[in-house]
Amino acid sequence: MNMDELAARGLVLLGCGKMGSAMLEGWLSGSLPASSVWVRDPRPSDWLSSRGVHLNTALPEDPAVVLVAVKPQMMAEALPELQAFGGGRTIFLSVAAGTPIRHFEEVLGAKTPVIRAMPNTPAAIRRGITAIVGNEHVAASELDLAEGLLSAIGRTVRLDTEAQIDAVTGLSGSGPAYVFHMIEAMAAAGEAQGLPPEMAMQLAISTVAGAGALAEMSEDTAEQLRINVTSPNGTTQAGLDVLMAEDGLKPLIGRTVAAAVARSKELANG
């Protein structure tokens, strides 16, 4: 399947909150016409109402893709009305956290092509990272199409198995919150050393954002970038001696991610 077939058959977007809106904006600014998009959302924003898409109207008979972007607690109400598209040619692409592929197969039919995706919150500004995995009824070209659609909100990676979703949740799904807390901690440390609170926060935010951008754009590894900025016996080395101690940042982050992964597994198992 390609974008031309998608445009011809149509795409259904179930739920258009921040994540859905970010994707829709990317699609419409690309090659997907508004006339090819049907959106179901109980409380559409003014922005959504002005996009020219089919909003809360009758759905197409044979959509190419149904993208599920509702909150998990709304899934039981929203998904059953799409049962007519199950077990056929329609691909179900879900960005709903905590809802396994087997749930879609149980509701829609065991032969339904389902792709599960785990994005993270920077997707709202198109700087996210999304991991995807499909069931056995998803063709390679359909995974390619899913990656193309999700590129509207950032980068994508493909998983080998759905079991890896929990690790993704603990690392990149929950990860932005870890970074935000690191910013809080850095700003507090700067303030403790005599900087005004607003200045300390500005310095912390820009430092984290700039370092992340450099790591993303550089051909060097994160390890090499760290080495590059660390002069022997200098100030950075003094700070790293604390962070890289035996009980420093690496084991703390290890425990942090492991706790989030464990909780993800608990939620998935009900």
Q: Is the torsion defined by CA of 226, 228, 229, 231 positive or negative?
A: positive
Q: What is the pLDDT of residue 73?
A: 78
Q: What is the pLDDT of residue 200?
A: 98
pLDDT tens digit sequence for 218-239: 999 999 999 999 999 999 999 9
Q: What is the pLDDT of residue 84?
A: 93
Residue whose C-alpha is closest to residue 113's, from 93, 83, 95 = 93
The pLDDT-based confidence of 71 (bands split at 50, 70, 90) is: confident
Q: What are phi and psi of 247, to 5 degrees?
A: -105, 30
Q: What are phi and psi of 184, to 5 degrees?
A: -55, -45
DSSP 74-124: GHHHHSGGGGGGTTSSPEEEE--TT--HHHHHHHH-TT--EEEEE--GGGG
The pLDDT-based confidence of 268 (bands split at 50, 70, 90) is: confident
Q: Is the torsion defined by CA of 151, 154, 157, 159 positive or negative?
A: negative
What does CATH list as the number for 3-165?
A: 3.40.50.720
What does CATH list as the number for 173-268?
A: 1.10.3730.10
The pLDDT-based confidence of 1 (bands split at 50, 70, 90) is: confident
Tokens 């040619």 -> residue:
89
Q: Judge whether 100 and 162 are in contact, CB under 8 Å.
A: yes
Domains of the chain: which residue ranges? 3-165, 173-268
With a cut of 90, say whether residue 248 has pLDDT above it: yes
Q: What is the pLDDT of residue 74?
A: 83
The pLDDT-based confidence of 95 (bands split at 50, 70, 90) is: very high
With a cut of 80, say whether residue 270 has pLDDT above it: no
Instruction: Look up the pTM and report it.
Output: 0.91
Q: What is the mean pLDDT of residues 41-59?
A: 94
Question: In angstroms, rounded to a whole number, what is the distance separating the alpha carbons of residues 81 and 188?
Answer: 50
With a cut of 90, say whether residue 75 has pLDDT above it: no
Q: What is the pLDDT of residue 81?
A: 85
Q: What is the pLDDT of residue 267?
A: 83
- 93 has which bridge partners? 67, 115
Averaged pLDDT of the chain: 94
3-state helix, strand, coil in the chain (%, to 5): 55, 15, 30
Q: What is the pLDDT of residue 221?
A: 98
Q: What is the mean pLDDT of residues 80-104?
A: 92
Q: What is the mean pLDDT of residues 193-200?
A: 98
Q: What are phi and psi of 124, to 5 degrees?
A: -60, -25
Q: What is the pLDDT of residue 174?
A: 96
Q: What is the mean pLDDT of residues 120-134?
A: 94
Q: What are phi and psi of 66, to 5 degrees?
A: -115, 115
